[in-house]
Amino acid sequence: MDEKIKKQFDEMKARHPDTVLLFRVGDFYESYEEDAEIVAKELGITLTKKGNTKMAGFPHHSLDNYLPKLVRAGKRVAMCDQLDEPQPLVKRVGAEATTSQTSNSPTMAEVKKFPIWEIKPSPTNPRKTFDEDAIAELAASIKQHGLLQPITVRPKDGMYEIVMGERRYRAWQENRRLDPHYPAEIPCIVRDMTDEEALDAMITENLQRQDVDPIEEAFAFGQLVKTGKSIEEIALRFGKSKRFIQERIKLDNLLPALKQWVTKEWMTIGAAMYICKLTEDEQQQFFDNYTEDAQDDLVNDPINKQDAIDFTNDLFMRIENAIWERDFSGSCGSTCEKCPFNDANVGCLFYEMKPHDATCTSRAKWDAKRLSWLQHLVDENAASLIKEGGSLEAGKTLLIADGGYYVERCTDYEPLLEYIRGKGIKIAKHEDYFERFSHYREDDERLREKLANNEVYRCLCVKAGYRGTEIRTKYFEFKNSNTEDAGDEVQAMNLVNEYKENERKNITNTASKLQRVLNDIEPAELPTAPLTQTESLVLMTLILRKCSYQFRSALDVNVTYGSEPKVFNYAKSHPEQAHQICRDFLREELSSSGVEYDADLQECQRMLLDEWAKEATDEVVNDMAVKLAKKQSKIEEQLTALGYNTDGTKMDF
């Protein structure tokens, strides 16, 4: 802490121990010691330590956002913009708080000057767009009045990286461009900041601007999420709703070209919110719809929300994107290939249509067929689905309906639930029974083992998605039995899992104790007689486990840590492949890394290849010998010129 600030901090704290002090230091407001702990906690910002001093700070642009939060938390606040006179105390008075600030208050940090070429903009700065006219106006103001507020920089990779003040930096550069005699050194305040602290400061400063670009806002929110901030924390911090933050972050999924359209105002935010939820290929199709001539028209007639809706409606009715299988007839009574509403079947009207561009021309038919396919998926699983009034049982499937953001958009969501209820099938929410879902794929052996051990439960999940209602199979992990809302069914399933877990542990514990039995056998006392049939089978199993992945895949034998001894069973049932298994083991061992440093393995490698691939082996050996001879010959000539032999001894002349 600066000595002058420390002196004022100590004096003010002695007079007002219950007041949170905020000191204006360059582009930041800073708090110290116990005040820093309060500020960090109430505002959700990082608490740092500089030497022995605890600190928490935020960009001065954020004051209007952060000050009310401190007041609402019941804190008395004083803002210190000058050394001799602190600003009036801010107290909670009803729902309002007032402050007074001076625009020309001196900063309480040492200002240094650095050449413009020693300073660089930050590549992580969320702000990517700068108005050239505004920069020119700022440059003229700086030239006339000077730089009223130094820029904030931090040491980075041998230079100084801008944390705050890139507009001022660009304006200074503009003055240098117009006037070569303009000073090269720009006033700076240097702050030691981590990458995370610098990014946080840049994001906070940029998001407080009135003219913040939506794309830059999306990028900034996304960066905060990547640093570990939750949606709730971001929403609270910037006074936005959780829905707003989530929707903004999705904008960052736009293709770069489409992001430029939003920035140029060629596409409205409403349209962008529709398009950003599409895949990259689908966004590219949307972009390709607009030729260069059409893009010129976007200046005066930007793409609006309805344009995006029309495109997505057409896209989602593209037959190659249909969720049903190609031979499914459903409510139409016909496959899409033979359907009269398939525009590819009307050659006289759509002669240029390609099969993969085929689109359904009837929204009613499309929606009806989609619903009938979803009903078909329910019917396929009906035998295993738990009925209304039923309880969880091992081997059964529970239907989960969690709604989602797009329930109002999905016209088939409620009709599908009515169909399910009509079948007498139980509908639950995942939080009623489960903690989280498993990320393993359905064909993963690890998931199948978890299912067999009752660690996860199979669920048929109905969810309203952006493209329509979806049905997917997911596997969920049960809640902990000790939680307050865990019912009898959850407790029973967890007990079943515990029962099976005890059996698994018994197997592993037995194996562990048998290891000790083997360790107690003296190796030197092992018999020298030929291997027994059992010993040969065990040896072959171990060798097969060490064979190459390609070889084991060809045999359809995978090494797993499951409960089934697959490799052992294969070796036992295929004794005729013992020699081939051994040969692949030899090939794998002698082709792996490490051979080049082991004399035993090198000798084995040469001998084996003399039998397996003599011609290719001789070619490699001869080629390497020639290369070695050339290298050694050059060295021999140099050694001779120096009067030395190749063994390092002096030559006798």
Residues labelled catalytic: 166
For 533, the enclosing helix (H) or strand (E) is helix 533-546
Listing from the earlier edge strand, what are the strands of the sheet with 456-465?
A: 427-428, 398-403, 456-465, 468-478, 434-437
Residue 316 has phi, psi (to 5 degrees) of: -70, -15
Closest by CA to 418, choosing from 366, 472, 378, is 378
With both helix axes pointing from N to C terminus, report the angle between 256-263 and 214-226 in degrees, rounded to the nearest 10: 130
Give dist(CA 624, CA 544) in Å, integer.
Answer: 34
Give dist(CA 22, CA 25) in Å, integer.
Answer: 9
Question: Do 456 and 475 contact (CB within 8 A), yes or no?
Answer: yes
Give dist(CA 584, CA 577) in Å, integer.
Answer: 11
Question: Do 413 and 463 contact (CB within 8 A), yes or no?
Answer: no
| Tally of CB atoms within 10 A around 88 | 11
Amino acid found at 607: M
Question: Do 236 and 221 contact (CB within 8 A), yes or no?
Answer: no
With both helix axes pointing from N to C terminus, report the angle between 166-178 and 132-145 in degrees, rounded to the nearest 10: 80
Closest by CA to 273, choosing from 307, 230, 242, is 307
Rg of the chain in Å (alpha carbons): 36
- β 185-190/112-115 pair status: antiparallel
Listing from the earlier edge strand, what are the strands of the sheet with 159-164?
A: 112-115, 185-190, 151-156, 159-164, 119-120
